[in-house]
Amino acid sequence: MIRKYTEAGKTIVEIYDLSFLKEREHSYGWLKRHFLHFNIKLALRNADKIYVNDIIAAVDLVRYYFVPKEKIVVNAQMKSPSHKTKRRHTDAD
């Protein structure tokens, strides 16, 4: 899972999962794995900062994509977009 956005003129990339790179028995097929690899590669090329949710993902980025360590920020509090919490609506909304 990857998310890309711009903040204050800087390109930020958030990466949540790189398990498809190492696990051969992953649920993704050949085409999906190559598509993800290509999209991640393109996003990382122009990124100013890269946020990951654990140190293992940071090590994988350096190992597989040759990303400079200075660009990577490990944020253990970061949650995958698939784990979004429902927003409570109040009268002020």
pLDDT tens string 60-76: 999 999 999 999 999 87
Let me know if residue 91 belongs to a domain: no
Predicted local distance difference test score (pLDDT) of residue 5: 87
pLDDT beneath 50: ranges in the chain: 83-93
Let me know if residue 60 belongs to a domain: yes
pTM: predicted TM-score of the whole model, two decimal places: 0.75
Let me know if residue 13 belongs to a domain: yes
CA distances in angstroms from 88 to 10, 62, 79, 91, listed in the order given: 31, 39, 19, 10
Cα distance between residue 23 and residue 26, in whole Å:
5
Q: How many domains does the chain have?
A: 1
Note down the domain range covering 46: 2-79
Let me know if residue 90 belongs to a domain: no
